Amino acid sequence: MLLFKLISPEAFVKLVASEKARRVIPVDATWYLPSWKLNNKEDFLTKPRIPNSIFFDIDAISDKESPYPHMFPTKQVFDDAMSNLGVQKDDILVVYDRVGNFSSPRCAWTLGVMGHPKVYLLNNFKKYEELKYPLDSSEVEAFSPYPKSHYESSKSFQDKEVVDYKEMFQLVKSGELANKFNAFDARTLGRFEGTEPEPRSDIPSGHIPGTQPLPYGYLLDPETKTYPEDGEAMRSTVEKALKDLHCTLDPRKPTICSCGTGVSGVIIKTALELAGVSNVRLYDGSWTEWALKSGPEWIAENRN
């Protein structure tokens, strides 16, 4: 289920101006691929941001016991992070990133899975900038302008939203993933097909047997990196992508999305849910965990 709503820059500005009872807090969830050699934390502190933003560190707000990057956080890690950022349960959180609907869907989804009541995904920051809406250009020294709070998440949808390695391996081994599920991979075709290298040199390219390619770029506007604004347009975009990629989607079957490390998988998960697809989950460990744990006999390079 979609645990957050899209909000346009225009609607976001109106929300900030009109909301009197609750705080509207912009959440910068920028995360960069290591190969880009950019610093998301430094960018938050030194570059223009939406006024009164906090910085949600996807790498840090994660499962500390896992050897894999930014795996879904425990309740304690999440609550501590939200408390340190000064977030309160009745705050309206509006998530964005500097790339344009790249890592922000992952953050918005995490907030929703952990039960935060009101979460929006800004569709998106680049468009906000182009429309000349307010930006804070001052350099700051902290990741939040708010005093520390006591945040306590009261419910979690993790069991309904996240697929772990054990379940994924059993689905692949039994053949159920290919036969009883729609399974999509958000990485590029080259990485999926094993013809392009992975960002990490210790991980081979290829894909999980039973998955189909659905690169996230097929589902966002190529110029603005935005999602279509209505469900019908999103459905048309998904249908065109599937046709162009020679892939299929059976709406009667549950769906699992994955990617490289669980970030861009949420881009396609969100797109499918906006298009009306139900029962969509994320394999959080995605290709990195799969390639490092399953062994070469469970790595495919063609679709058959």
Give the pLDDT confidence of 184-209 residue by residue, as tens digits: 999 999 999 999 999 888 999 999 99
- 164/268 same-domain check: yes
| Residue 303 lies inside a defined structural domain of this protein | no
Predicted pLDDT at 124: 86
| Residue 221 lies inside a defined structural domain of this protein | yes
Domain that holds residue 228: 159-298
Question: Which of 153, 172, 207 finishes a domain?
Answer: 153
Predicted pLDDT at 34: 87
Predicted pLDDT at 75: 97
Predicted pLDDT at 219: 98
Q: In this structure, what CATH number is given to the domain that contains residue 167?
A: 3.40.250.10
What type of residue is 304? N
- Say how far apart CA 272 and CA 276 lie, in whole Å: 6
| Residue 203 lies inside a defined structural domain of this protein | yes
Predicted pLDDT at 301: 85
Q: What is the pLDDT of residues 6-49, one digit of tens each?
A: 999 999 999 999 999 999 999 999 999 988 999 999 999 999 99
Predicted pLDDT at 224: 87
- 123/44 same-domain check: yes
pTM summary value: 0.97
- 140/18 same-domain check: yes
Predicted pLDDT at 304: 57
Predicted pLDDT at 17: 97
Q: Are 100 and 224 in contact (CB under 8 A)?
A: yes
If you count them, how many residues does the chain have?
304
How many domains does one find in the chain? 2
Predicted pLDDT at 212: 98
Predicted pLDDT at 302: 77
- 167 φ/ψ sector (left φ>0, alpha ψ -120 to 50, else beta): alpha
| Residue 304 lies inside a defined structural domain of this protein | no
Handedness of CA 223, 264, 144, 89 (dihedral sign): positive
Question: Which of 153, 176, 192 finishes a domain?
Answer: 153
* pLDDT under 70: residue ranges of the chain: 304
| Residue 164 lies inside a defined structural domain of this protein | yes
Taking the CB of residue 55, how many other CB atoms lie within 10 A of it?
Answer: 20
Greatest Cα pair distance in the chain = 58
**Residues with catalytic annotation?**
259
- 59 CB-side CA count, 13 A: 8
Question: Which of 94, 123, 153 finishes a domain?
Answer: 153
- 109 φ/ψ sector (left φ>0, alpha ψ -120 to 50, else beta): alpha
Angle at 144 between CA 141 and CA 145, to 5 degrees: 85
DSSP state of 106: H
